[in-house]
Amino acid sequence: MSESSYYRIDPSGEAYYITTQRQKVIISDETFAKHANAATQGKSVKVPLLIHGSVLGDIVRGPVGMSVSPYSGTQMQYVFSVLLNYLPLNAPFIVDGADLVPAFREDDSKELKLKWTVLSDMRLILMIPVIYDGNRFIALEQFLFALTDRNLPYRLPTSNVYEDCRLCAGTFDSTGQTIMDTISKCVKQFELSRWQSDLSNRGGENGMRNSKRLFRFRPEDGDEFKQMPPLSAWPSLSTQVAVGFISSNLPFQV
């Protein structure tokens, strides 16, 4: 792939690409959209989009990948795959033996805000399809899934995620005047949202047991909590999925 296909966004939010002559070319979001549309000629393509980690915060491991594919008529959609450092667990927690585990339900359990660090053999992805309507960038929805080292997608045993890994993200303004505005809003909403009981009964007792075996913490001195390793390999505690939208939009560098 030529260097001109590599788009970057620096900490100021400025977008640019590098030509084959190693010149830095600043592009507006509108120019970006037109350039990508022309480049794809109605076909799906995958391009690396390198976003500086400080733009989206420490929740993002980076880089953010992007694919471009037809959406409706001549309109294209830009699908961003955000590689996460941790899963924010803003939820009620309960005691399970020696462990503290998220309950993923609405009751009087103690509510905590803990960060579950992504395991070394897992890549956790927040996938965000975005369209440009000529005036603003609009996030259509979000998908949350984990990948094995063979790029096999799995749905983790949490609430708020549908069978096809679509995330129940709640109501918020998912539009922006720039690409970074829209992506930042989605990531921030994901990081701050509370896990509700929605879809928490999927998998029944087995699903709840898997959740307790995967998301484990133990209290340490003060108000600190130590993340404990899962009691089984994480794929065995999750559900493998076959979702065409995910597999067709996974960027090659994720």
Question: In this predicted structure, which of 35-39, 75-79, 144-148, 149-153 has the lowest mean pLDDT?
Answer: 35-39
Does 211 reside within a domain? no
Contact 131, 102 (CB under 8 A): no
* pLDDT of amino acid 114: 94
Q: pTM, whole model, 2 decimals?
A: 0.81
Residue 136 near residue 175 (C-beta atoms within 8 A) = yes
Give the alpha-carbon dihedral of 65, 181, 132, 83, to 10 degrees: 20
Is 97 within a domain?
Answer: no
Asked, for residue 136, whether it belongs to a domain, the answer is yes
pLDDT tens for 23-78 read 555 555 565 566 555 555 555 555 545 555 556 788 988 667 777 777 887 778 88
**Cα–Cα nearest to 124, from 1, 232, 27, 214:** 214
Secondary structure class of 65 (helix, strand, coil) = strand
Q: How many CB atoms lie within 10 A of CB 27?
A: 15
**Residue 51 domain-assigned (yes or no):** yes
Three-state secondary-structure class, residue 208: helix
Tokens representing residue 35 in the block: 């350039």
Instruction: Report yes or no on 19 lying in a domain.
Output: yes
Residue 100 lies in a domain: no
Instruction: Tally the domains of the chain.
Output: 1
77 falls within a domain: yes
Structure tokens of 233? Answer: 């390999």
Q: Is 217 part of a structural domain of the chain? A: no
Domain of residue 13 covers 3-85+121-202+237-249
Write out pLDDT tens, residues 93-123: 999 999 999 988 766 667 889 999 999 999 9
- The tokens describing 251, both together, are 């960027």
Let me know: does 86 contact 118? Beta carbons within 8 Å: yes
Cβ-proximal residues to 225 (8 Å cutoff; 6+ apart), any chain: 100, 112, 114, 217, 218, 219
